[in-house]
Amino acid sequence: MEILKFTEEHKQYRERLRAFFAKEVLPHVDQWEKEHAIPKSIWNKIGKAGFLCAGVPKEYGGWGGDFLHSIIASEEIVKTNHYGLIIFLHSEVCAPYISAFASEELKKKYLPGCVSGDIVLGVAMTEPNAGSDLAALATTAVEDGDQIVLNGAKIFTSNGINGDLFIVAAKDPEIENPYQAVSLYLVEPTTPGFQIGQKLEKMGFHSQDTVELFFSDCRIPKNNIIGEKGKGFYYLMNKLQQERLVCALAGMSQAEFILDETLKHYKKIKSNGSLPKIRQSKQHTIVDMATEVKVTKTFLYTLIKDHIDGKDIVTETSMGKFWASEMVRRVADASFEIFGLEGALEKNRIERAWRDCRGISIFAGTNQIMREIIAKRMDL
């Protein structure tokens, strides 16, 4: 069953990417996880190798890739079993805001560096009291001549330590309608009044540099706004379909990784004769896991095709996002049962995957929000 039309060039791209990860990423993942950080240099390496921002047009430093290249990159990085180098956040969540809505000046200034890896992107939306409800943002943006003055705080910002440029959502406090008050701005971390807080220690995603950000009379040029003033909420809604698809794909890809690891373990204990008597039960569990992964992948690939074709699939994407992010947790739990206590050891790759997959259900809007969207569009 071929849903997405991967060309021979796409297949070669996947092989080159796997080879790159095998050489430059996989040998270091365990150390990065222990250190709770990845080196900034890896971003430059992956950019120079041509694996970032496939969708950026050639006139802004892009290399002529398409969304299928992005899908391949997202799948393969997840299967390295760590989230420190989340290239899909950089390439498919952050960069599209710039390439789709920013001014020519900002595109020419920043996009070439995003492609090369010289600029690492982060997105600063979530606040202590505003997560999925973006209308509750408290960070303010006030015009003062040819500058914008930012005040407020963000939390759970990925790529916070390595980031060179952040997309910051803030609102004009004088506009009452919260959906018309939000704008998006580009802020460099060296800007006076912008402070990066300490790295947050998390249950999973150990090598991801997640931080708090603080803005205290942080002054940026007025032309650092992305698109038009007051259109931030519209821009966010416009790009959330792709962001949620990428999150769903991450869940599915991680479930594929967990399934592969589980199959290797099962075949190993089967071949050495140490398979427990409850063999049939384990077989059925693995069959259930494989079925969930296959059904989810088929659905998501259909959604990706529809997304490429420009279809309105907000309802289906919301379904895919909550389903895939909960499916991977079911698969991880089932795998844990098959591994037994061995699965709880830090050296076991399943242990890390089990920890990491829990957060996917929160990204790009919690799964409760996904259900709210679906219910509204079903006129319930």
For residue 120 the two structure tokens come to: 């690492």
Residues carrying an active site annotation: 243
Sequential DSSP letters for 84-138: SS-HHIIIIIIHHHHHHHS-HHHHHHHHHHHHHTSS-EEEE--BTTBSS-GGG--
What letter does residue 196 receive in the DSSP assignment?
A: E
Amino acid present at 144: D
- Phi and psi torsions of 217, nearest 5°: 50, 45
User: Identity (one letter) of the amino acid at 377?
Assistant: R
The Cα–Cα gap between 157 and 167 comes to 10
Distances from the Cα of 165 to the Cα of 100, 133, 355, angstroms: 17, 24, 29
H-helix or E-strand containing 219? Answer: strand 211-221
Contact indicator for 252, 327 with CB cutoff of 8 Å: yes
